[in-house]
Structures are given as structure tokens and as C-alpha cells.
Amino acid sequence: MGNSFGRLFRITTFGESHGKALGVIIDGCPAGLELDLDKIREEMQRRKPGQSKITTQRKEEDDIEILSGIFEGKTTGTPIGIVIPNADQKSKDYSHIADKFRPSHADYTYFEKFGIRDYRGGGRSSARETAARVAAGAIAKQFLAAKGISIQAYVSQVGDLSMQIPYQELDLSKAEENIVRCPDPATAEQMIALIDSVRLDRDTIGGVVSCVIKNTPTGLGEPVFDRLHAELGKAMLSINAVKGFEYGSGFEGVKMRGSQHNDAMVKEEGKIKTRTNHSGGIQGGISNGEDIYFRVAFKPVATIMQDQDSINEAGEAVTVSGKGRHDPCVVPRAVPIVEAMAALVLADYLLLSKTNKLEEI
């Protein structure tokens, strides 16, 4: 259970980190969308391992093969099946932890839940699963782009290095110009240096990914449980290593008074707007047309190159240590994953919003 996401634009993923392949089925993508396969591959490149010195040096080509749902370059409205072969499996690397539970991984909980686990690289619990999400999200993004909606994520914090510049004052397109994906070049340099020093310590560190969605139409979001930000939150919290989500004013908004926090409404140049945007583009769970923005907290990667106390399947005390090639900080590669999940949420709610008013049916 739990391997599907969305209602009308719905994905289902499968695959373990060291199985034959990962994959995803997208059900509900509207017909008639001209798909740019290169753009899907670009997104895969942004997520793939081995892309810079601050990411894992594992090599995965992350080629995608589309098996269905496209005819003569366009979506047909039938399910889009995508397979991503696992090229670099190296299962032998994992024999040393076959019966050990790595601290703060899902080893123990999967074993408790299912009574069995695929110990090769975490199996299904590996962040490798997110490759399938990025492929699906790349299609959702193209659907949204056809309707004018754009999504841009970036790294805003690594460890306690937090970029203080509001997104409105940043040129977000610069995020892709450095390997840590922070749009402020000065902060980016510091972040890279920090990650590099953590890596040399055989340690890992956390970070924050921020995301901005522009040009959302009003009316997206379903009261009361399926508020737009509630589903965005769930989407982000479903990404490996995420510990928190906040949108608009977030946890800082707690400290404000209503008279500061409320977003006064104005009409400018014939368009209804809010003067401030502490609401983060969503009021009562429904988009109001302003920018949607949110922040996602990632913990430090659990695999470290140091000895740690743990137990094995027999309940005996053991020592475990990471081996091989792992990310010292997950956020640079998490940027496209955050965007993918945001795109999937928006695509789903855009479809849902087509059935709200009698006169539009």
C-alpha cells in the first residue's frame, strides 16, 4: 500500500534500489499534450548521482524508457508507463549489512512491518525511488507549463548556513548555475565549502529546499481535508529524509500579530492582489493567485562513514559503518525532487478544479 499519489493525475511507482528497474505509471495525464522527452531527461540529470563533487559518486545513467501512453509524440489519455533500469547494482557491496539494522534508516522498521527486507541498499526505502517521481514530475511540469504554471526550487540552507534573502529579491534562474543549487552565488560558495568539509569528516549534514510556484490560477485546493498546502505538505514529507514543511509565513508567522500577518486585498491594474503574501498564495486551503512558496527541511543523510552502535536481526549488539559512495548532503539533488512532487500536486488539483462550478461543466 501507499505507492500511489494523486487522484486525477495519479502516479504509482515501483522498484528497489538494487532490483532490475524502477518505474512509474502515470494515470490521468490529459490527452493531447506534446511531450518533450529531452526535458524529462534533463530533470533526470538534475537528480542523478555523480553529477558533482558534493554528491555521491555512484554512477546511474537513469535512462528512462516510455512504454505506453504516447502516440505520435502526444499523450493519448491512457496510462504512461515508464521504466528506469538499474545499471549500477553492485549488490555485493551490501553483504556487510545483510542482517544489521543501520541506525536511522528504514532497515528495522521494514523488517518489523513486513517480516522480510531487501537489504541491498535499502531496497524500496532507498531514495533511488525518487528517480521515478522525477520522471513523472517532469511530465506534470510540461502539463502545467502548457497552462502557464511554473515551479522553481532551490537550496536556501545547509546546516546553519541559511540564506536570508527573500525569494522575491533573488534571480532564481541562477540556482542551476552552481552545484549546490543556491541562487545567491556568495552563499552557494560557502555552502559548497561546508558540505565539502563535512564530507572530509566522513559525516553528513542537513539542509532546506525552498520552492516557488508562479502563475497558479485561483481556486486550486479542496476543502477541508485536501487543502492545497496539506497535500503539498504530504508530498514533501513523503520525500526521503524530510523532517518538516512550512508554507507562507510558516513557523515564523507564529510570532506575528494578526494585524501584521493579514494580507490586505487591493485591486491594481484591474487585477485583485494582496499587498503582502504571508498566506503563501493559499487561503483556506485554496490558491488565491499569488505566488505559492514553501520550505522543506531535510535531515543529515543517515549513512555516514563512521562506526555506529546498532543491533542485528538476532537482536545482538553490532557496529555498522557506511561504505561506498553516499551524499554528504542531500539537498542539491533534492531540488528536482521537490519540484517534481510540487508539479504532481498542482497537476492533480488543476484537474480537480475543472468540476467546481455547474456553469463550467
Which amino acids are annotated as binding site for FMN, given as ranges? 124-126, 240-241, 284, 299-303, 325
288 binding its own copies? (CB under 8 A): yes
- H/E run at residue 109: helix 107-114
Local structure of 355: helix, strand or coil: helix
Please tell me whether residue 108 binds its own copies under the rule CB under 8 A.
Answer: yes
Q: Which position among 62, 118, 184, 339 is part of the footprint of its own copies (CB under 8 A)?
A: 118
Torsion of CA 194, 200, 206, 212, to 10 degrees: 50
- Reduced to 3 states, what is the DSSP secondary structure of residue 156? strand
Residue pair 350/132 in contact (Cβ under 8 Å)? The answer is: no
Q: Does 91 bind its own copies (CB under 8 A)?
A: no
| Nearest distance from C-beta of residue 63 to its own copies, angstroms | 14
- Interface residue with its own copies among 150, 174, 244, 321 (CB under 8 A) is 244
Q: Angle, nearest 10°, between helix axes 37-47 and 331-352?
A: 140
Cis peptide before 158 (omega within 30 of 0): no
Of the candidates 36, 51, 52, 76, which one interacts with its own copies according to CB under 8 A? 76
Contact between 304 and its own copies (CB under 8 A)? yes
Count of residues that bind its own copies according to CB under 8 A: 157
- Does residue 179 touch its own copies according to CB under 8 A? no
- Which of residues 151 and 205 has its CB atom nearest to its own copies in the complex? 205
Of 152 and 204, CB closest to its own copies? 204
- Shortest Cβ 103–its own copies spacing (Å): 4
Smallest gap from Cβ 45 to its own copies, in A, equals 22
Q: How many residues does the structure list for the chain? A: 361
275 binds its own copies (CB under 8 A): yes
Q: What three-state secondary structure class fits 178? A: coil
User: Which residue lies nearer to its own copies by CB, 6 or 183?
Assistant: 6
What cell numbers appear for 324 in the block? 561506498
Q: One symbol per residue from 181 to 220: x for binding its own copies (CB under 8 A), - otherwise; what is it?
A: -----------------x--x-xxxxxx---------xx-
- Cα(40)–Cα(43) distance, integer angstroms: 5
Least distance to its own copies, CB of residue 341, Å: 9
Cell, residue 184? 545567491
Tell me: does residue 67 bind its own copies (CB under 8 A): yes
Q: Are 59 and 87 in contact (CB under 8 A)?
A: yes
Beta carbon of residue 189, minimum distance to its own copies (angstroms, whole number): 19
Tell me how far apart the alpha carbons of residues 331 and 335 are, in angstroms, rounded to a whole number: 6
Which stretch in 36-44, 47-55, 98-106, 167-175 sits in contact with its own copies by CB under 8 A?
98-106
Reported as half-sphere exposure (CB side, CA atoms, 13 A), residue 39 has a value of 13
Q: Which of 78, 150, 215, 321 touches its own copies (CB under 8 A)?
A: 78
> In the numeric block, which cell numbers belong to residue 188?
552557494
Q: Is 332 in the site for its own copies (CB under 8 A)?
A: no
| CA–CA separation, 221 and 218 (whole Å) | 9
